[in-house]
């Protein structure tokens, strides 16, 4: 059964109803936004990690746009070097960076990462999603970026299967972005606008 906010429920008492995965995601996003707001004056890196196709780029760019931040892509060598520099103490006061990449342990030694997290200068967000969701994400991306593209179902499925769902014990937040559990980008945008005190767009 779908577990959206307005889903029909069983005869359980209201205070004993299980929290849906979508509600957990929304709560985690709200806590993430609060953490960004509390730490951005001294500089904070938000590292979005997860397997290929889970939606790191979409979430990372959305977070970046609402937090007046800089988006860096860990797959690009220049960005990768800048990220490593920032994680070794050169995080600019008054700014923060949103990064999308699969493997948290690449950026710095674990003790450095944990110290940065303790100091409020690094937040790691681990995105997860099942194979069907990732297949759909990559199809949407192919259609969005390359109309009539050479999207190949079998080749995409093979790449997804070769990039298993990634989990890191270093994560501050774990978001299950299976399509039935994730909030829409409109909902994410409204939540971030509210939490980060960003005025609504002018009409």
**What's the domain count of the chain?**
1
Reported as a pLDDT band with limits 50, 70 and 90, residue 185 is: confident
**Tens-place pLDDT, residues 89-145:** 677 765 566 666 556 567 778 888 899 899 998 899 999 999 999 988 888 776 655
175 domain residue, yes or no = yes
Rounded to 5°, angle at Cα 151 from 145 and 155: 135
> In the chain, helix, strand, coil percent, each to 5?
45, 15, 40
Tell me if 83 sits within 8 A of 44, measured CB to CB.
no
- Give the residue with greater pLDDT, 195 vs 69: 195
159 domain residue, yes or no = no
79 domain residue, yes or no = yes
**Tens-place pLDDT, residues 151-178:** 788 888 898 888 877 888 889 999 999 9
172 domain residue, yes or no = yes
Q: What is the CATH number of the domain that holds 35?
A: 3.40.50
- Give the residue with greater pLDDT, 150 vs 59: 59
Domain holding 43, by residue range, is 19-129+167-193
Task: Give me the sign of the Cα torsion angle 109, 127, 124, 199.
Answer: positive
1 domain residue, yes or no = no
The packing angle between helices 185-195 and 21-39, to 10°, is 40
145 domain residue, yes or no = no
């Amino acid at each position: 059964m779908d577990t959206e906010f307005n889903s029909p429920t069983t005869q359980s008492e209201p205070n004993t109803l299980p929290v849906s995965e979508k509600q957990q995601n929304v709560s985690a996003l709200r806590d993430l936004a609060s953490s960004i707001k509390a730490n951005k004056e001294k500089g904070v890196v938000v590292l979005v990690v997860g397997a290929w196709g889970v939606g790191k780029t979409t979430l990372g760019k959305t977070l970046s746009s609402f937090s007046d931040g800089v988006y860096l892509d860990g797959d690009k060598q220049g960005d990768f070097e800048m990220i490593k520099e920032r994680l070794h103490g050169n995080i600019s006061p008054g700014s923060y960076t949103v990064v999308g990449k699969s493997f948290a342990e690449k950026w710095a030694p674990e003790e450095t990462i944990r110290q940065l997290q303790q100091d409020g200068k690094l937040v790691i967000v681990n995105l997860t999603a099942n194979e069907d969701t990732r297949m759909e994400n990559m199809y949407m991306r192919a259609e969005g970026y390359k109309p009539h593209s050479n999207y190949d179902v079998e080749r995409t499925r093979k790449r997804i299967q070769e990039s298993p769902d990634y989990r890191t014990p270093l994560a501050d937040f774990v978001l299950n972005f299976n399509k039935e559990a994730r909030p829409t980008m409109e909902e994410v945008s409204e939540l971030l606008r509210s939490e980060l005190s960003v005025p609504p767009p002018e009409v």
